[in-house]
């Protein structure tokens, strides 16, 4: 059976840098509080005149395709992970397809929040293993900043979430490397612990004054519950990936966790006794970009020479749903 390999990885983040000092001006918070609880020093928030989820994804895709040494027209299928699509429907996959000039090829949207990129990678991997496609574009892109309550009331979430895009070109290979396995989990009992309630379909009207007054269109998170579940699930799903492939922690060359919160990443790092140079974090600069965080981190890690041929890379994520997932990749 074929395996799938990531042959190129790229990213794009909006130019607009929002520092903790900028947030201090619009809500009752401090740089110290944000750095101590989340590790975040700055994040990117989109420019509504310039950035959309799909055009950020297009820029990330072009970088990934360049690095893979392929032409855009070689892409046969798109898997687009986002929970912040440009429209309520259709999904952003078709908008990306249109921007890339790939009219006609299939475009699938994935809505698994912070685990979305690994879910998307898994779907693309299955298509390649079965021989249906040879070159698949896997994208994670989000604009979270427009769903944040940027007043003091919403400060525990609005200091964390941010915007950006990452893309990977996944290609079939006969070599014994690439995506070794993916592991996907979910527990809908916790759906409302981290969510955006409106606009939803199961209401009398999609939009109402009550929703605007009640700010139910803003992202809502029970940070303590998310934190407690995240640290357990991250560890479980990394262990699952190692066991499935007969590997031990020491075999990991680089762990790229979803950039949820630096405290969560540090906790997982300590649990696995991984040295600093084996865990990649860039949440300090970009905040939590949901489905985009892993491909942005992977792209930067690759740029910095931290991902080399033959390395064993572990991806792991946890987020809204709850959903959690991991993948082991022999680069
Ligand atoms: N600035 C200053 N103070 C803040 C604040 C902010 N941005 N946000 C919350 N606070 C205050 C609270 O109002 C509270 O004050 P009080 O004690 O006077 O009531 C105090 O800080 C503690 O709030 P709490 O929510 O208990 O803080 P915490 O230590 O749990 O940290 C999170 C909050 C969100 C940082 C933390 O729960 C967390 O990291 N959770 C995981 C979030 C995550 O990773 N989400 C992404 C998953 S994909």
pLDDT at position 266: 97
| Architecture of the domain whose range is 3-175 | 3-Layer(aba) Sandwich (3.40)
Please work out whether the CB of residue 33 comes within 6 Å of at least one atom of ligand 1.
yes
CA nearest ligand 1 atom 38, residue: 223
Domain extents for the chain? Answer: 3-175, 180-330
CA nearest ligand 1 atom 12, residue: 156
Please work out whether the CB of residue 260 comes within 6 Å of at least one atom of ligand 1.
yes
Mutate to test the pocket of ligand 1, among 223, 291, 320 (most ligand atoms within 8 A of CB): 223
pLDDT at position 1: 87
pLDDT at position 219: 92
Cα of 141 from ligand 1 centre, angstroms: 25
Cα of 33 from ligand 1 centre, angstroms: 9
> For every residue of the chain, which 3-state class applies, written as one string?
CCEEEEEEEEEECCCCEEEHHHHHHHCCCCHHHHHHHHCCCEEECCCCCCCCHHHHHHHHHHHHHHHHCCCHHHCCEEEEECCCCCCCCCCHHHHHHHHHCCCCCEEEEECCHHHHHHHHHHHHHHHHHCCCCCEEEEEEEECCHHHCCCCHHHHHHHCCECCEEEEEEEEEECCCCEEEEEEEEECHHHHHHEECCCCCCCCCCCCCHHHHHHCCCCCEECHHHHHHHHHHHHHHHHHHHHHHCCCCHHHCCEEEECCCCHHHHHHHHHHCCCCHHHECCCHHHHCECHHHHHHHHHHHHHHCCCCCCCCEEEEEEEECCCEEEEEEEEC
Please work out whether the CB of residue 156 comes within 6 Å of at least one atom of ligand 1.
yes
Q: Give every residue of the chain whose pLDDT is below 70, as ranges.
A: none
Q: From the options 3.40.50.720, 3.40.47.10, 2.60.40.10, 3.40.50.300, give the CATH code of 180-330.
A: 3.40.47.10
pTM above 0.85, yes or no: yes
CA nearest ligand 1 atom 21, residue: 156
Residues designated as active site: 114, 258, 288
Fold match flag (3-175 vs 180-330) = yes
């Amino acid at each position: 059976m074929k395996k799938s390999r990531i042959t190129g990885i790229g990213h794009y983040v909006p130019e607009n840098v929002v520092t903790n000092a900028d947030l201090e001006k619009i809500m009752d918070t401090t740089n110290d509080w944000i750095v101590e609880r989340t590790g975040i020093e700055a994040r990117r928030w989109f420019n509504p005149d310039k950035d959309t989820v799909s055009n950020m994804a297009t820029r990330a895709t072009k970088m990934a395709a360049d690095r893979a040494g392929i032409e855009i027209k070689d892409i046969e299928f798109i898997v687009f992970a986002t929970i912040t699509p440009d429209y309520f429907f259709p999904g952003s996959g078709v908008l990306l397809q249109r921007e890339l000039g790939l009219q006609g090829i299939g475009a699938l949207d994935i809505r698994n929040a912070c685990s979305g990129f690994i879910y998307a990678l898994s779907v693309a991997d299955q298509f390649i293993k079965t021989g249906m496609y040879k070159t698949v574009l896997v994208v994670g892109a989000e604009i979270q900043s427009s769903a944040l309550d940027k007043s003091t009331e919403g400060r525990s979430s609005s200091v964390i979430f941010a915007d950006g895009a990452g893309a990977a070109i996944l290609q079939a290979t006969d070599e014994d490397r690439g995506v070794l396995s993916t592991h996907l989990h979910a527990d809908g009992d916790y759906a409302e612990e981290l969510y955006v309630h409106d606009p939803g379909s199961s209401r009398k009207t999609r939009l109402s004054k009550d929703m605007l007054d009640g700010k139910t269109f803003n992202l809502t998170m029970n940070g303590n519950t998310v934190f407690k579940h995240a640290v357990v699930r991250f560890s479980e799903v990394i262990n699952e990936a190692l066991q499935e492939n007969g590997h031990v922690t020491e075999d990991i060359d680089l762990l790229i966790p979803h950039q949820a919160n630096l405290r969560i990443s540090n906790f997982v790092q300590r649990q696995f006794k991984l040295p600093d140079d084996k865990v990649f974090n860039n949440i300090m600069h970009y905040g939590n970009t949901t489905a985009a965080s892993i491909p942005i981190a992977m792209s930067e890690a690759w740029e910095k020479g931290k991902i080399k041929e033959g390395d064993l890379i572990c991806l792991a994520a946890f987020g809204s749903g709850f959903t959690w997932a991991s993948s082991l990749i022999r680069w």
